């Protein structure tokens, strides 16, 4: 194992002792929480560790430059890992998508198979908006977006029912407040009074 990778893994183990601030409940999914250190992230994600080990051997490849800079210098990188296969989805080729920035996990994105489970996990959304759409051919559908605005960050569940899409599973995005502001620089914070009835 490359010395740089070995030292990062040792730091990852010690990083498990770090805990988030007690006054803010962290938001998370798939065994991770927003704000966890890159060290903890690598400890929990074998695919990401393997990618890092490959990058130690090929540090000049462009994707490796970004990953190594993110891990060693706190810069920004996106990492995708394979969803573990299970008995219900043995042929799954889904991925979990992560963004690390500033030495921390700032965003998690994944497809959702069970909306009821999401609602049970996160409770009542801050906003629940249904938007009507119409395609050029006159086909109509409704999209739904649920947003949870929490002190630790934003959780967004987007359901795009466009009939042209092959995969209609909702997309779940968890992100830090800073990451949300970066992606939505002109968006106002959702207001609980803007709720519309869930469907």
Q: How many CA atoms lie within 13 A of 96 on its CB side?
A: 21
Q: Is residue 36 part of a domain?
A: no
Bridge partners, 121 (sequence order): none
Average pLDDT over residues 60-85: 89
pLDDT of 18 reads: 41
| CA gap 57, 37 in Å, rounded | 24
pLDDT of 100 reads: 97
Q: Is residue 18 part of a domain?
A: no
The number of distinct structural domains making up the chain is: 1
Residues 6+ positions from 11 with CB-CB distance below 8 Å = 39
Q: Is residue 149 part of a domain?
A: yes
Q: Is residue 11 part of a domain?
A: no
pTM, two decimals, is 0.78
Report pLDDT digits (tens) over 87-139. Answer: 565 556 788 999 999 999 999 999 998 999 999 999 999 999 999 999 888 89
Q: Is residue 140 part of a domain?
A: yes
Name the least confident of 97-111, 130-144, 151-165, 178-192: 178-192
Q: Is residue 192 part of a domain?
A: yes
Residue 5 predicted with pLDDT over 50:
no
| CA gap 158, 136 in Å, rounded | 22
| CA gap 22, 65 in Å, rounded | 35
Give the domain extent around 131: 112-199
Bridge partners, 82 (sequence order): 95
Do 80 and 96 meet the contact criterion of CB atoms below 8 Å apart? Answer: yes
Nearest to 81 by CA among 105, 103, 60: 105
Report pLDDT digits (tens) over 35-46. Answer: 999 999 999 999
Q: Is residue 80 part of a domain?
A: no
Per the listing, tokens 């704000």 go with 35
Q: Is residue 9 part of a domain?
A: no
- Phi, psi for residue 25 in degrees, rounded to 5: -75, 120
Average pLDDT over residues 58-68: 90
| CA gap 72, 56 in Å, rounded | 12
């Amino acid at each position: 194992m490359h010395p740089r990778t070995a030292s990062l893994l040792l730091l990852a183990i010690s990083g498990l002792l770090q805990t988030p601030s007690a006054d803010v409940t962290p938001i998370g999914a798939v065994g991770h929480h927003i704000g966890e250190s890159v060290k903890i992230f690598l400890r929990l994600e074998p695919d990401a560790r393997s990618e890092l080990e490959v990058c130690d051997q090929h540090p000049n490849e462009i994707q490796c430059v970004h990953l190594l800079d993110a891990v060693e210098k706190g810069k920004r990188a996106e990492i995708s890992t394979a969803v573990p296969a299970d008995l219900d989805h043995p042929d799954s080729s889904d991925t979990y998508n992560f963004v690390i920035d500033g030495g921390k996990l700032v965003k998690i994105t994944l497809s959702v198979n069970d909306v009821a489970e999401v609602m049970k996990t996160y409770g009542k959304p801050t906003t629940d908006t249904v938007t009507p759409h119409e395609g050029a051919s006159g086909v109509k559908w409704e999209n739904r977006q649920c947003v949870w605005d929490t002190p630790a960050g934003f959780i967004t569940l987007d359901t795009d029912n466009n009939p042209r899409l092959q995969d209609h599973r909702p997309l779940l995005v968890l992100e830090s407040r800073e990451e949300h502001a970066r992606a939505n620089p002109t968006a106002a914070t959702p207001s609980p009074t803007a709720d519309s009835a869930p469907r």
